[in-house]
Structure 1
Amino acid sequence: MDLGLKSKLAVITGGSVGIGLAVAEGFAAEGANVLLTARGRARVEAEAARIAKQFGVRALGVAADVATAAGCDAVIAAAQGMGGADILINNAGTGSNETIAEADDAKWQYYWDLHVMAAVRLGRGLVPQMKAHGGGAIIHNASICAVQPLWYEPIYNTTKAALMMFSKTLANEVVGENIRVNTINPGLILTPDWIKTAKQIAGEDGWEAHLQGVANEAGGMKRFATPEELANFFVFLCSDKASYSTGSTYFVDGGWLKTV
């Protein structure tokens, strides 16, 4: 199936590892060019070089902290230098661990900048590039926690919920420009962070059993998805085959969500 992505430029934040890297590889496999961003220069540049060689596409790694205005400006400029963005995947983010009573203002502000303001700034900067190309697609990687919160990360829950609403609002604003904006709310995805945490909790011999326990508690399919499984949905949703989809939120959670 031709997804109509050849030679498009996809910008992926948090693109050097986990979900972001899998999404970048998914686009490259379809012939799209990719711009990966991450804070670590060595890793993001190495992964971009590998993708370019492996898939025969243009790939650029940009070291930038998208939780800052300067970092977002660097990404916007880099995309313009590659001819302008057609696709934006706002993926950069991380979990939190706190109580509302204990978390200080600085922690709330950091997560707001990372999960919400990065999307605002990059949307503001890359939408004009998409307009110049006649349209585009934006996906915000939020979380099932945006609607089904976990007790130990109230800041993550709140900022991801805000990201979901921003996505809907942006979709309404640019629908007339042939730019489609959607949100994906993943469930349990087997990223390196999950594995690292599980090993810290249960050790080298017990981490897999620990994660299976997490999956069993979640219910549904009772397993973690691979980053590649999730990436397939991102790629499809940005393709010509999803041309009538905008302003929506999709749960890719193996049946974890407890509501309709």
Structure 2
Amino acid sequence: MDLGLKGKVAVITGGSVGIGLAIAEGLAAEGAEVVLAARHGERAENEARRISDRFGTRAIGVAADVATVEGTAALVGAVAEEFGGADILVNNAGTGSNETVMEAPDEKWQQYWDLHVMAAVRLARGFAPQMKARGGGVILHNASICAVQPLWYEPIYNVTKSALMMFSKCLATELVTDNIRVNCVNPGLVLTPDWQKTAKQLTADTGGDWEGYLQGVADEHAPIKRFASPAEVAHFFVFLCSDKATYSIGSEYGVDGGMRKGL
């Protein structure tokens, strides 16, 4: 199936690892030119070269901390200079948290607010005019099942991801007349390097069976009884970027293996 993505310019934040990297690979496989934005510029550049060599499409890495005003401005400017603008923006950068509401300091709340919410706000302000000038575009937000079904140990993550989902809906209404489609994806358990790192840390003193630990998490939370691969989630993002999803606007989609229990 031709998804109509050949030659499109796609920007993926947090694009050098995990879900973001899988999305970049999926878009490149469809012929899109991809920009991998990450705090670690060298890793982003290395992955971009690998993607370009594998799929034969243009790919670049950009060092940018999108949790900052300077980082988002640098990314928008780099894309304008290298490609003349973007057609697709995937706001994927983010990370889990671990705290209680009673003990977490203001600074931690602000840190996650900047990363999960303000990065999306600032990048929308930067890239939407580029998309409008190019005839339209797509903005996708990678939130989390925790935006709608919170886990008890990460209230800051839950709250900021829920705010990102609401921002996505507001942005969709504002940009629809510019032919820019905005949607939100809420993945469940995805086997990213972060999950593997956490599991190894938690099992280091009890035999190191990190795979068994993750299987236990999957057994507890997901009816499918396993984690998704990053590629499985990426496939859905690629579809939403395509011209096969032109009536998908302002929605949120769960990709969670049955983990969400509510309606």
TM-score, length of structure 1 as denominator length: 0.99
CA apart distance, 1:78: 1.2
Q: Which residue identity does 1:4 align to in structure 2? A: G
Query: Whole-Å Cα distance in 2 between the matches of residues 98 and 259 of structure 1?
Result: 25
The secondary structure found in structure 1 opposite 2:163 is: helix
Root mean square deviation of aligned Cα: 0.8
> Aligned ranges for residues 205-224 of structure 1 at < 5 Å?
205-224=208-227
Q: Which residue of 1 is the match for residue 250 of structure 2? A: 247
Size of the aligned set, in residue pairs, is 260
Q: Which residue identity does 2:73 align to in structure 1? A: D
Q: Which residue identity does 1:129 align to in structure 2? A: Q
Query: Whole-Å Cα distance in 1 between the matches of residues 45 and 98 of structure 2?
Result: 30
Q: After the TM superposition, list the runs of 4 or more consecutive aligned residues in structure 1 that deviate by more than 2 angstroms.
A: none
Flag structure 1 segments of 5+ consecutive residues without an equivalent: none
The secondary structure found in structure 1 opposite 2:61 is: strand
Q: Which residue of 2 is the match for residue 94 of structure 1? A: 95
Query: Whole-Å Cα distance in 2 between the matches of residues 30 and 163 of structure 1?
Result: 27
Q: Which residue of 1 is the match for residue 232 of structure 2? A: 229
Q: Which residue of 2 is the match for residue 202 of structure 1? A: 203
Flag structure 2 segments of 5+ consecutive residues without an equivalent: none
Query: Whole-Å Cα distance in 2 between the matches of residues 154 and 211 of structure 1?
Result: 21
**Percent of aligned positions with the same letter in both sequences?**
70
Query: Whole-Å Cα distance in 2 between the matches of residues 206 and 94 of structure 1?
Result: 23
Q: Which residue of 1 is the match for residue 184 of structure 2? A: 183
Q: Which residue of 2 is the match for residue 121 of structure 1? A: 122
CA apart distance, 1:42: 1.3
Deviations 1:113-161 (A, max 9, x none): 0000000000000000000111100100000000101111000000000
Query: Whole-Å Cα distance in 2 between the matches of residues 97 and 47 of structure 1?
Result: 29
The secondary structure found in structure 2 opposite 1:70 is: helix
TM-score, length of structure 2 as denominator length: 0.98
Query: Whole-Å Cα distance in 2 between the matches of residues 60 and 87 of structure 1?
Result: 15
Q: Which residue of 2 is the match for residue 74 of structure 1? A: 74
Query: Whole-Å Cα distance in 1 between the matches of residues 174 and 180 of structure 2?
Result: 9
Q: Which residue of 2 is the match for residue 172 of structure 1? A: 173
Q: Which residue identity does 1:65 align to in structure 2? A: D
Query: Whole-Å Cα distance in 2 between the matches of residues 219 and 150 of structure 1?
Result: 13
Q: Which residue identity does 1:30 align to in structure 2? A: E
Query: Whole-Å Cα distance in 2 between the matches of residues 42 and 173 of structure 1?
Result: 36
CA apart distance, 1:219: 3.0
